Copies of this chain bind each other. A is one copy, B any other.
Amino acid sequence: MSLLVVGSIALDTIETPFGRADMVVGGSAVYISAAASYFTAPIRIVGVVGSDFPKSEIEFLESRGIDTAGIQVVKGGKTFHWSGRYHYDLNERDTLETNLNVFEKFDPVLPEAYKKSRYVLLGNIDPVLQRRVIESMEQKPELVICDTMNFWIEGKRDELLRTLKLVDVIIVNDSEARLLSAEPNLVKAAKKIMQMGPRIVIIKKGEHGALLFTGGTVFSAPAFPLEYIYDPTGAGDTFAGGFIGHLARTEDFSDENLRRAVIYGSVMASFSVAKFGIEALKELSDIEIMGRYRDFIDLSRFEE
């Protein structure tokens, strides 16, 4: 079913101990859409780029069944650029450069057709803009999912709290969950965040997997133990894309199916980090995705 994705579209320069990629397409909306495109259609993307953004990348998104009518192109402007260097252990990175460029004045305007999307995934942007998107929907979506980050939790806390009241699912990492809830214990943190609005809380723990909190239950999903990780950029967004993609495909919000969605998110993230940028998300097959899903079963099953 239809999925609206709002977030950043970027040109990234990424250095890791294993290589370097220059000005490759990235940004939360791109990773989310590309990952979700393996599960559901139509996907409608909203973002902003400059006239330097390669046409071939727009064509790639369209080739994945993603509607790009919502991508605003600012003539003469430059696309948001992020440049970072990962350390040897890949859990640490230095941001070398962040040029917001046209993203600085991003105003997510939805094309009419987008306003009836059944699923909405709000990437990590200003919570004021996230709320504006939700409020401009013509009919209440089945599920609104949002991401956020320390910058907004600390800098625009009140706005974020207003937005969270309208959100069904929040996806954050462990440090963001702790900061948002002012609670170091993740079980307690998830409970506190639920009181802010979202009825489902997902806490990502990077190489340690993810926790899914629903009403009364907790699900602990493993991360795939990869021998080679080339580039963690976008792993969290790719996870979110696989998660919402599976839900939008199945339209089943039972605990069982939310767990499957978390595993599909982990599956997509495990592919993404094994190549640079979004490379891995350009060429996956359903067989590979199903195979990796089964690998996750093998990885975590044990018997009574």
A202 to chain B, nearest CB (A): 13
The count of chain A contact residues (Cβ–Cβ below 8 Å) is: 39
Q: Is the CB of B187 within 8 A of A227?
A: yes
User: Among residues 48 to 78 in chain A, which have CB atoms less than 8 Å away from a CB atom of chain B?
Assistant: none
Q: Is the CB of A220 within 8 A of B300?
A: yes
**Does A209 lie at the interface of the complex (its beta carbon under 8 Å from any beta carbon of B)?**
yes
Partner of A300, one of B88, B219, B223, B294: B219
Query: Which residues on B sit within 8 Å (CB–CB) of A293?
Result: 304
Q: Is the CB of A219 within 8 A of B184?
A: no
A222 nearest in chain B by CB position:
B220
Q: Is the CB of A225 within 8 A of B229?
A: no
**Does A259 lie at the interface of the complex (its beta carbon under 8 Å from any beta carbon of B)?**
yes
Query: Which residues on B sit within 8 Å (CB–CB) of A229?
Result: 185
Number of copies: 2
Chain A 272-304, CB-CB to B under 8 Å as 1, else 0, gives 000000000000000000000110011111111
Choose among A184, A217, A259 the residue with the greatest number of B CB atoms under 10 Å from its CB: A184
A226 with B300, Cβ < 8 A, contacts A208-B205, A220-B209 known: no
Interface pairs (15), CB distance under 8 Å:
A88-B184, A89-B184, A185-B228, A185-B229, A187-B225, A187-B226, A208-B208, A209-B222, A219-B299, A220-B222, A220-B300, A256-B302, A294-B304, A297-B302, A300-B302
